Amino acid sequence: MAEAVIFLGPPGAGKGTQAKRLASEMGFKQLSTGDILRSHVARGTELGRLAKPIMDAGKLVPDELILGLIGEELSSMPDPRVIFDGFPRTLAQAEALDKLLRERKIRLLGVLLVTAPEDELVRRLLGRALEEGRSDDNEETIRARMAEYRQKTQPLVDYYQKTGSLKQINGLGKVDEVYQAIQEALGVKA
């Protein structure tokens, strides 16, 4: 059956790590719009050249470009089982995704809101800057990404709360503890 899970939360909350593990254990495909964009940047595609300065400034890439990527990915999957990681990030993206899920008859298993206090998020992102060398993990860009999250993505918390899909996950614990909380919230714990 076609099914989807959405990971929502500020930068540094651990969405990517958790989404990767959940995807591999549930046999789902992880769709990280950030990873897809970084791969375009690395390959120097037209989209990559457009997106890079926006990403380096910590701003959100325009909805039409993101929705194009998601539409392309989903259309290549006959029976989608996907974990959306870092998408949707704006109300327009959330509404477009709702439409896609309806049209493709994809059941939304839950929206996982992974959060942690902002000083912890910034600490983690600065640590990741040293480990992975992501060009948008410097202090100035991190601040801009947090502001974009508060302004444009946080309203999605209300949006999904109203539909009853939202599940709050404390992202502060150890990776294993957070993962366990996610499995319990989705009711997929063995």
Residues in the site for ligand AMP, rule: CB under 6 A? 11, 33-34, 37, 54-55, 58-61, 66, 86-87, 89, 93, 136, 145
Catalytic annotation present for 89: yes
Catalytic one among 38, 52, 124, 145? Answer: 145
Phi, psi dihedrals of residue 170, rounded to the nearest 5°:
-80, 115
* C-alpha span between 73 and 104 (Å, rounded): 13
d(CA 105, CA 130): 42
**Annotated active-site residue in 81, 104, 128, 152:** 128
Give the nearer residue to ligand AMP in terms of CB position, either 28 or 87: 87
Q: Shortest gap between Cβ of 73 and ligand AMP (angstroms)?
A: 12
Q: Which of 21, 89, 124, 167 is catalytic?
A: 89
Write down the least CB distance from residue 28 to ligand AMP, Å: 17
**To the nearest whole angstrom, how small is the minimum distance from the Cβ of residue 152 to ligand AMP?**
8
C-alpha span between 77 and 149 (Å, rounded): 29
Is residue 15 part of the annotated active site? The answer reads yes
CA–CA separation, 73 and 117 (whole Å): 33
What amino acid is encoded at 96 in this protein? A
Question: Which candidate in 15, 21, 38, 52 is catalytic?
Answer: 15
Q: Which is nearer to ligand AMP, 62 or 188 (CB)?
A: 62
CA angle 119, 121, 123 (to 5 degrees): 70
26-51 burial, b for 16+ CB within 10 Å, e for fewer? bebbbbbbbebbbebbeeeeebbebb
Q: Catalytic residue at 38?
A: no
Q: How far is the CB of 109 from ligand AMP (least distance, A)?
A: 19
For ligand AMP, which is the closer residue by CB, 1 or 64?
64
The residue (of 15 and 167) whose beta carbon lies closer to ligand AMP is 15
Q: Closest Cα partner for 182 from 25, 10, 11?
A: 25
Active site residues: 15, 89, 128, 134, 145
